[in-house]
Amino acid sequence: MSDYLTAQFPGTGGVIKEAPEDFLVEEIPLYSPCGEGEHLYVEVEKQGLTTFDLLSRLARTLGVRERELGYAGLKDARATTRQTVSIPGVKPDQVLGLELEGVRILSARFHRNKLRPGHLAGNRFTIRIRQVREGSLDEARDVLHVLQNVGVPNRFGSQRYGSLGNSHLIGGALLRQNFEEAARQIVGDPSMISNERWRTGAERFAAGDLEGALAALPARYRDERRMIHALIEGRSARAAVLGLPRKLLRLYLSAYQSQLFDRMVTMRLSTLDILWAGDLAWKHDNGACFFVEDPAFEQPRADRFEISPSGPLFGYKTTLARGQAGLLEESLRDKEKLRVEDFRLEDGLGMEGERRPLRVPLNGVDVTADGADLVLAFSLPKGSYATSVLREVMKTEPTGA
């Protein structure tokens, strides 16, 4: 079974992110600042910085506590991104005159509330694909036409699984309380590592040489070194792994949830736009879900893209589908030997779970040829990824988008 929705069309091939200006992301705000209040909404354009890098620089420069700054979405460093952050207790002229490397201030207006994660409608992308196959403009247009009509498979994609592509394996090991396996995966499989010192450290760790692994690992691998230090001190694998930052451990668990969801998307790929009896339909206007009792009655709403089938981000509070859709979800859990109760972890690591649409709408589509390159423009709702569009167009795994 192909895992491309548009398998009938050849891919363009090519590469992305050769330069930061090849990948432009612009937040689509959920609302505009009203012009009054104590929070200054600052629209910025940045290159070479993550969102957290940006917040740190702004807080340090303006003398504000970093945790008091707000943001709607996280943006990659390897791109040109335009996003809004909120800063309390500062005036527009303090910000508009700032000169920070890699940062350009575009506007500053007051609003009454702090900007929170998720306070955006979506993102607009303009992406240059370099070195595409000759004559691929028409195929790209055909692929995008299908995605506009059927929807974009709402995958998380490879960027969710870390530089070695194994974050979900760490999460799965944590969930199953297999801390020895989690530790091995955290240090990494030597065969997957290109950095020489890191690979040497991973080889020594795999051989049981903890002191040698610590000596080889570069200082920047702080979490790995911290875990190995704990093991050298005689702590159990459980204590050593759980001694890592909670934010990091939850990221691993989230990656496992994401990988299961991506597999569910693949399993439903031929019916992404078709409702089944027992489906939990996702309402695109507000994110609410309801059980589909009569698929024929509800299908016209799916055809209008008002609703879509949803899949689970498994957790101990996840509402599961029924009927035929429920059997598919159950088959995935059975294959993984997984119970939703397994996500009820201690130590602040419990994952409640939620539903997520299996497809999302693609809007504002434009594609043009520019010499040997293609330039794509489109918008997606919040929480969905440009990689899902690019992998269908390119028929490769566009890492890091």
Q: Name the H helices within 304-355.
A: 323-336
DSSP strand pairing (23-29 vs 80-88): parallel
The pair phi, psi for residue 259, each rounded to 5°, is -65, -40
Does the pTM exceed 0.85? yes
The pLDDT value recorded for residue 400 is 43
Task: Look at residue 225 and give its three-state secondary structure.
Answer: helix
Note the pLDDT tens digit of each residue in 5-15: 999 999 999 99
169, 174, 176, 180: CA torsion to nearest 10: 90
State both tokens at 131: 């070195």
Task: Look at residue 140 and give its three-state secondary structure.
Answer: helix
Is residue 32 within 8 Å of 75, Cβ to Cβ?
A: no
Catalytic residue among 76, 262, 273, 279: 76
Is residue 43 within 8 Å of 84, Cβ to Cβ?
A: yes
Map tokens 């429920």 to a residue: 326
Classified by CATH at the fold level, domain 167-247 comes out as Hypothetical Protein Yqey; Chain: A; domain1 (1.10.1510)
- CATH architecture, domain defined by 268-360: 2-Layer Sandwich (3.30)
Q: How many helices (H) and strands (E) does the chain have?
A: 13, 14
The pLDDT value recorded for residue 362 is 98
Is residue 214 within 8 Å of 205, Cβ to Cβ?
A: no
Segments making up each domain of the chain, as ranges: 31-117, 167-247, 268-360
Q: What angle do CA 52, 55, 59 make, to 5 degrees?
A: 145
Q: Burial level of 281, CB count in 10 A (0-12/13-18/19+)?
A: buried
The pLDDT value recorded for residue 399 is 53
Q: Name the DSSP class of 397.
A: -
CA distance 204 to 208: 6
Would 31-117 and 268-360 be classified into the same CATH topology? Answer: yes
The type of residue at 84 is T
CA distance 263 to 285: 25
Q: Which residue numbers in the chain have pLDDT < 50?
A: 1, 400-401
76 counts as catalytic: yes
Is residue 370 within 8 Å of 132, Cβ to Cβ?
A: no
The pLDDT value recorded for residue 26 is 96
Classified by CATH at the fold level, domain 31-117 comes out as Pseudouridine synthase (3.30.2350)
Q: How many CB atoms lie within 10 A of CB 115?
A: 24
Which residues in 273-332 belong to E strands, given as ranges? 280-283, 289-291, 307-313
CA distance 358 to 261: 9
